[in-house]
Amino acid sequence: MRAPVLIPALLVLLALPACADGERAGARAGAGDVVASIHPVAELVREMAGDRAEVRVLLPPGAHADTYEPTPRMAQAVAGARLLVKVGGGLDDWIGAGASNTPVLILTEGMDLTAGDGHPGTGNPHVWLDPVLVRDELLPRLADALVAVDPEGAADTRRRAAAFADSLTALHDEIGRLLSDVSSRRFVAAHPSWTYFARRYGLEPVGALHPSPGEEIGTRELARLVAEARSRDVRAVMAEPQLGRAGVAALADELGVRVEVADPIGGEGLEGRDRYTDLMRWNARAFARALGGAS
């Protein structure tokens, strides 16, 4: 497992000369910069902040949150922001803590998380992949944090949060209908990203190829996974764009099942995976295809 990033290292990065982008980030801070660790969280912020904040994402497209290393530009963005939004649960510890005076919101703090996915002493942090948890747990916390740093925009933030909550209810109903008639409900995951999504929609993950951050299961564990997947009639293996495909493809060949790609992160400019609601629809269709439903 990768050692956690030390706070002093990030402090050193903060002391480095600012590049042009960093200077522009500092200049915008007065207009309401908010920095989010990953793309889906940034999209939640954008839905509620509207044009009252410029939202920046720290995790680059295609990178995996479990293995990402910080950069000087990232440190500059954090230092110049009015609010930093993290998932928590060990997922974005690479940002560091106490690296600047920027207020920090940890979305999962105090939540009852399911069993961890390899982060020592933490629970599974992938709560944003359950739109009901987003509606009921994350949005109120995020709205409160945005109001705290922008009290003049409180009424607008609360209005947008309420409207987005309604859209999440509609999204949940839509996904539920899509996955209600799948012929199979069991799958093997590339990584335990889909625990909350599966629990919400009655699906059943049967193990993962990358159960811990940056690590693959060993030979014995793989043999046990193959045996369990066969005994439980698993019909699909779900790959992720941020992880290698070789192991997923080999496992699917061994089991004689199909591979589908589900994306827990998405990204700006990725067709169908930019806005949060679009990303969740994209994933729901991927699971429907994988498990024998209409997509």
Could you report the per-residue pLDDT of 94-120, keeping only the tens digit for each? 886 545 688 999 999 999 888 755 455
Where is pLDDT greater, at 133 or 79? 133
Structure tokens at 260: 């589908």
What single DSSP character describes residue 210?
-
What is residue 269's predicted lDDT score, i.e. its pLDDT? 85
DSSP string, 174-200: HHHHHHTT-S--EEEESSGGGHHHHHH
Q: Can you give the residue range of the structural domain that contains 57?
A: 7-174
CA distance 246 to 276: 28
Q: How many residues does the chain have?
A: 295
The residue behind tokens 């495909």 is: 245
CB atoms within 10 A of CB 253: 11
Same domain flag for 221 and 280: yes
pLDDT over 70 (residue 2): no
CA distance 142 to 138: 6
198-214 in b/e burial notation, b at 16+ Cβ within 10 A? bebbebebbbbbbbbbe
pLDDT over 50 (residue 274): yes
DSSP string, 26-48: HHHGGGTEEEESSHHHHHHHHHH
The last residue of one of the domains, among 147, 174, 201, is 174
Same domain flag for 146 and 38: yes
The answer to whether position 38 is within a domain reads yes
The answer to whether position 85 is within a domain reads yes
* pLDDT tens readout for residues 63-86: 766 667 767 777 777 878 899 999
CA distance 94 to 6: 8
The answer to whether position 28 is within a domain reads yes
The answer to whether position 73 is within a domain reads yes
The last residue of one of the domains, among 145, 174, 203, is 174
Tally of domains within the chain: 2
CATH code at position 262: 3.40.50.1980
* Percent of the chain topping pLDDT 70: 80
Strands ordered across the beta sheet of 204-208: 204-208, 186-189, 236-239, 258-261
Same domain flag for 92 and 233: no
* pLDDT tens readout for residues 155-203: 999 999 999 999 999 999 999 999 998 999 999 999 899 999 999 999 9
Same domain flag for 85 and 216: no
| Region of poorest pLDDT, from 93-97, 149-153, 195-199, 215-219 | 93-97
Where is pLDDT greater, at 294 or 33? 33
- Positive or negative, the CA dihedral 139, 112, 124, 202 is negative
